DNA sequence: AGCTATTCCCCGTTTACATCA
DNA sequence: ACTGATGTAAACGGGGAATAG
């Protein structure tokens, strides 16, 4: 229903409630306020959502209402206003979430592409290695001279291609993604979780505080710019 | 300091009324 | 024209917090 249409239904001016509470509760005179009264109340509410007692009495006199009616109108108005605010915040939060989710999808695809590329390079390297094995066994011993034996007795070769790509997992992260041990630890974890579809599981949202999303004033830039 | 009465507010609910199918 | 369902504004009641006497 349109607002004008709504108000036209209640053109009867409320001349003031003189009945007591019991009569009010039982009575059939439960009239809605007139358009003029509502307009005046709205104007005051825009500047102050709470009324000082003296102003409440004065306003009630001006509008031909009981002070209690004015007080109750302000109470109900605050409740309606709060409800609308909550709805706005919810919509904002949902939009931010959708934005974040789509960014995550993009990142997952990018990661998958990088993993595929890495796999391809690995296979290429393997092929090159096998060719070298065929060509010259002596050189292989030199190339693998920096390989080590780990504490658990596992052999860990460090093999380098001519282009300088280091095929050791941690080094790849450092050289290709610019990740330093420690400083980007959280981001690394996020990437690893994303690879396991961990971020899409609601189980992992326990530490995800909606407050921090809404409280954008605490940082110098919008949180969602983190991904851009 | 502890108690009581009063006032205000919030929250959830009820009541009265208008609208619509 | 009547009626039941639904939505909304006005009003209520309970309970907590603050304040004064």
Q: Per-residue confidence of chain A (228 residues) as pLDDT tens digits?
A: 333 333 333 333 333 333 333 333 444 456 789 999 999 999 999 999 999 999 999 999 999 999 999 999 999 999 999 999 988 898 899 999 999 999 999 999 999 999 999 999 999 999 999 988 877 654 444 444 344 445 554 445 444 433 334 444 444 444 444 344 444 444 445 444 544 443 333 334 333 344 444 443 333 433 334 343
Query: Tokens 């007139």 label which residue?
Result: A34
Q: Cβ of A41: how many Cβ atoms within 10 Å?
A: 20
A71 touches strand B (CB under 7 A): yes
Rounded Cα–Cα distance for residues A228 and A216 (Å): 16
**Whose CA is nearest the C1' atom of nucleotide B18?**
A9
Question: Which among A90, A34, A37 is positioned nearest to A59, based on CA atoms?
Answer: A37
Give the CA A209 to C1' C17 distance in Å: 29
Q: How far apart are the C-alpha atoms of A165 and A171, rounded to whole Å?
A: 9
Alpha-carbon distance A88 to A192, whole Å? 34
* A78 closest-nt by C1' vs CA: B10
pTM value > 0.95: no
């Amino acid at each position: 229903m349109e607002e004008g249409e709504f108000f036209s239904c209640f053109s009867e001016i409320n001349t003031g409630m003189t009945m007591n509470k019991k009569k009010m509760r039982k009575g059939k005179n439960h009239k809605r306020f007139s358009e003029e009264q509502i307009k005046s109340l709205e104007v005051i509410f825009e500047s102050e959502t709470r009324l000082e007692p003296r102003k409440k009495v004065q306003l009630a006199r001006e509008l031909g209402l009981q002070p209690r009616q004015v007080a109750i109108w302000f109470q109900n108005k605050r409740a309606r206003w709060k409800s609308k605010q909550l709805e706005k915040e919810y919509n904002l939060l949902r939009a931010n979430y959708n934005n974040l989710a789509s960014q995550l999808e993009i990142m997952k695809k990018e990661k998958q592409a990088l993993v595929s590329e890495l796999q391809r390079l690995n296979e290429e390297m393997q092929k090159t290695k096998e060719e070298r094995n065929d060509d010259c066994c002596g050189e292989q011993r030199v190339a693998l001279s920096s390989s080590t034996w780990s504490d658990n007795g596992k052999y860990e070769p460090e093999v380098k291609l001519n282009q300088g790509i280091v095929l050791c997992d941690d080094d790849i992260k450092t050289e290709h993604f610019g990740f330093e041990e420690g400083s980007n630890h959280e981001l690394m974890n996020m990437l690893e979780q994303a690879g396991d579809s961990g971020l899409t599981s609601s189980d992992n949202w326990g530490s995800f505080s909606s407050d921090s999303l809404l409280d954008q004033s605490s940082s110098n830039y919008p949180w969602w710019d983190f991904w851009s």
